[in-house]
Amino acid sequence: AIVCVFGYLIMNNVSTADLIGSSGDNATKMLSSSKGGVMVQYPSEWVLSESTSNSSVIALAKSDSIDSSKVGQVTINVEKQPIEGSFDSFINKTYTAMQHDSSGQVLINDKNATEYVYTSDVGGVVKEHKAIWFDKGDQAYVVLYSAPIDKFNENLNSFNYILENMQIGA
């Protein structure tokens, strides 16, 4: 369940049942991967993928969204970047030139984070993006979910599950 109160997003125990529906007939197998201090659990309909970002630690793509050029259209990418200056000014600088739909403080597993939601149009493909930023000392971690507008909401439960069960900088 996701509850929005006064601009704060609080996530509480997104379960496997939320991902597969209440029938449970098509049990979703959960997989996990760990790399670069980040551990993720993800549904078996998702696969590890490559990212074009040099800052990427772990990249996932929904397997049925991979196109003929082997690029995932529904993706989750975890990146790690060294912070220059304060955390807030570092991430705000990222979005200064970009128009975003919303931004604000969120609470994920009792950890403060900053959320940005925005859209992009690349080659006629309009995508919605949700970026969740975490401050870990001198490193900024961002969990970026991207999907074509018509696929965004239907995959949001998977993103929330992955985010809720992620461990950063163990």
What would the pLDDT profile of 56-87 be if each residue is shown by its tens digit?
999 999 999 988 777 889 999 999 999 988 99
Describe the chain by its helix, strand, coil percentages, rounded to 5.
20, 50, 30
Give the pLDDT of residue 17.
Answer: 47
Residues 87-118: pLDDT tens digits? 988 888 877 767 667 788 888 888 899 999 99
Distances in Å between the alpha carbon of 118 and those of 31, 84, 90, 148? 29, 23, 18, 12
Give the DSSP letter of residue 57.
E
Reduce the DSSP state of residue 34 to 3 states and report it: strand
Residues 4-15: pLDDT tens digits? 233 333 333 344
Give the pLDDT of residue 26.
Answer: 57
Give the pLDDT of residue 170.
Answer: 52
**Tally of CB atoms within 10 A around 134:** 20
Task: Report pTM.
Answer: 0.80
pLDDT at residue 148 is higher than 90: yes
Are the C-beta atoms of 46 and 37 separated by less than 8 Å?
no
Mean pLDDT for the chain?
Answer: 81
Residues 21-31: pLDDT tens digits? 444 455 678 88
Give the pLDDT of residue 27.
Answer: 62
Give the pLDDT of residue 80.
Answer: 93
